[in-house]
Structures are given as C-alpha cells and as structure tokens.
C-alpha cells in the first residue's frame, strides 16, 4: 500500500512542478513580447504579493487564537517601519516562541 502511495505522491509533485514551470515560462514569454509592459499589467503584477499575503493572513486572523493575534500585531508594527521580510520573520518568530511557551 505504501509503495503505491509513494508513487502517487511523487507523481503529484512532478506534475505540480511541471505545471509551475510551464506557467512561469509562459508568463515570461508573454511579457517578453511587449517592449514596454503596459501600465495595467505592471500594476496587477505589483499587487500579487499583497493578494497572496492577504489570503494567508486573513484566515489566521479570523480563526486564530491569542498567539496568532499577537504575531499579526508584531508583524504589522514591524511592517510600518522595516522591510517586509523582517516584518514577516518577526511575526513568525513571535508565533513560534508563543507556541513553544504553550500559550
């Protein structure tokens, strides 16, 4: 049973990787055909990171307990003044420390 499960898991990983590669190459190929990238396309691409972070953060904020709320607050405060990556890492660090402490 586990041999078949491992095979299916490997197949899912390989197909997912191939789909991701095709999407990235197609996006690069399509955007390379335009000399100056249209303003609307550029604006849409710049909005993608915010949209992804929203889909990750909102469920944690709605369903989260005290540690998640504190981590979100820390990440928000750090994000006001520091680089985005530092804010995310700060929030993750606070969340991990609070979970490790049993809160």
Cα 93 to Cα 11, 37, 55, 68, distances in angstroms: 34, 38, 20, 11
Cα(82)–Cα(31) distance, rounded to whole angstroms? 31
More confident residue, 15 or 5: 15
Output the average pLDDT for the chain: 86
Interval 17-39 mean pLDDT: 85
Structure tokens at 74: 């820390």
Cα 29 to Cα 1, 34, 49, 50, distances in angstroms: 42, 9, 21, 24
The residue ranges of every structural domain in the chain are 1-33, 46-103
Digit-coded pLDDT (tens) for 51-60: 888 888 888 8
């Amino acid at each position: 049973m586990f041999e078949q499960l491992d095979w299916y898991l490997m197949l899912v990983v390989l197909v997912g990787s191939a789909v991701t590669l095709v999407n990235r190459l197609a996006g690069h190929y399509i955007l390379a055909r335009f000399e100056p990238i249209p303003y609307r396309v550029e604006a849409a691409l710049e909005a993608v990171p915010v949209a992804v972070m929203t889909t990750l953060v909102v469920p944690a904020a709605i369903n989260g307990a005290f540690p998640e709320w504190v981590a979100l607050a820390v990440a928000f405060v750090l994000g006001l003044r520091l680089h985005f990556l530092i804010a995310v890492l700060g929030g993750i660090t606070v969340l991990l420390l609070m979970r490790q402490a049993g809160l």
